[in-house]
Amino acid sequence: MLSLAASGIILGFAAGISPGPLLILVITETITHNTKSGIKTAMVPLITDTPIIILTLLLLVQLRDFSLFFGMLSIAGGCYILKMAYQGFRAKKFETALENKASKGLQKGFFVNMLSPHPWIFWISIGSPIILKASQQGYTAAGIFILFFYVFIIGSKIMIALLVGKFKKNFDRYYILIQRILAGILLIFSGLFFYEGFNFLITLYGQ
C-alpha cells in the first residue's frame, strides 16, 4: 500500500509540474482572467482521465498495435494547440483581455488533454498496468494509487495557479510579451505533437 501511495505521489507531482500544454493553459488562464479560472483549468484531469483510464484498460486487452490510434490523436492535438498558439500571438492588451467573455479554460483544457497523446501513453504504459497489478491486491490498493496520483497532479497545478495569481499584478505591463512567449511554447508543443503523430504513422506503414 505504501509503495502504491508513493508511486501515486511521485508520478502525480512529476506530471503536474512537467511543462506541457495543460500547464501552459493553467498559467495563461490565471493571467488572462483570474486565479479561480486557473484552478478550474487545473481540475481538467478529473474530467478527462476517467474515460482515458477506462479506454486504455480496454485497449490493453483488445489492441496490439497503437500506432494508428496515437498517430491520429497526436495530429489532432497538434492542430488544436496550433490554434491556441495563434490566439496567443494575437493577444490584446491586458486590460482588454480581462473585459472579454467568461473564461473557457475548462473547455480548452478538456480538448487539450483529450487530444494529447501523453495522458493516453501514460495510462497505457504506466498508469493502467499499475492499476491492474494493484487490483490483484484488491480495489482498495488500486484506489490508493489513483487517489494520490490525482491529489498531486491537480494539487501541483493549483499551486502554480496560486503563485501566478499572487504575482499577477506585476504581469500587466508584460502581458503581451508573456502571451507571445506562451504562444511560442505552445507552437513548439504543436510541432512536437505533429512530429509524434507522423512518427507513429511512419512506424505503422513503414513496417
Reported as a pLDDT band with limits 50, 70 and 90, residue 66 is low
Q: What's the pLDDT at 151?
A: 93
Judged by DSSP in three states, 132 sits in helix
* Position with higher pLDDT, 74 vs 165: 165
Q: What's the pLDDT at 34?
A: 83
Using CB atoms within 10 Å of the CB of residue 135, give its burial: 0 to 12 exposed, 13 to 18 middle, 19+ buried: middle
Q: What's the pLDDT at 148?
A: 93
Tens-place pLDDT, residues 122-142: 787 778 877 877 887 888 888
Reported as a pLDDT band with limits 50, 70 and 90, residue 150 is very high
Residue 43 has pLDDT above 80, yes or no: yes
Instruction: State the virtual CA torsion across 59, 64, 66, 67 in degrees, nearest 10.
Output: -170
The C-alpha cell at 131 is 492499476
DSSP annotation of 169 reads G
Distance (Å, whole) CA 178 – CA 184: 10
Determine if the pTM surpasses 0.85. Answer: no
Q: What's the pLDDT at 171?
A: 59
Residue 99 has pLDDT above 50, yes or no: no
* Position with higher pLDDT, 101 vs 113: 113
Tens-place pLDDT, residues 172-200: 566 677 678 778 877 887 888 788 788 87
Residue 42 has pLDDT above 80, yes or no: yes
Using CB atoms within 10 Å of the CB of residue 166, give its burial: 0 to 12 exposed, 13 to 18 middle, 19+ buried: exposed
Residue range 47-69: mean pLDDT, rounded: 76
Q: Which residues contact 11 (CB under 8 A, 6 or more apart)?
A: 126, 127, 149, 152
Q: Which residues contact 4 (CB under 8 A, 6 or more apart)?
A: 130, 134, 141, 142, 144, 145, 148
Distance (Å, whole) CA 181 – CA 62: 42
